[in-house]
Amino acid sequence: MMKSEKPSKVTLKKWHQDPKNWILGFLYYNKEDPRIFPPKRTSWTGWTVNFANPKSIGFLIGILLIVHFVLAYLK
């Protein structure tokens, strides 16, 4: 699949159900999946971070830094 192509719903579902894309059963890691926030393994419980996507790691670190600075400021 080319980087510019969007994966089909069937492909996304196949990736989501593949146990090889879940580290320890709850950490999603799929280099082919362009989504930053795919659904959790039990999709009705929300979303998770695709740890193979550098954008999602940057976003997660940014959120953690914001929370850290807000909590440090409130002390």
Give the pLDDT confidence score for residue 43 in this predicted structure.
80
Q: Could you list the pLDDT tens digit for every one of the 75 residues in the chain?
A: 556 678 999 999 999 999 999 999 999 999 999 999 999 998 889 999 999 999 999 999 999 999 999 999 987
Give the pLDDT confidence score for residue 3 in this predicted structure.
61
The domain spans of the chain are: 9-74
Q: Let me know the angle formed at the C-alpha of 41 by 63 and 53, rounded to the nearest 5 degrees.
A: 45
Q: What is the pTM assigned to this prediction?
A: 0.77
Strand, helix or coil at 50?
strand
Q: Give the rounded distance of the alpha carbon of 39 from its chain centre.
A: 8
Give the pLDDT confidence score for residue 13 in this predicted structure.
93
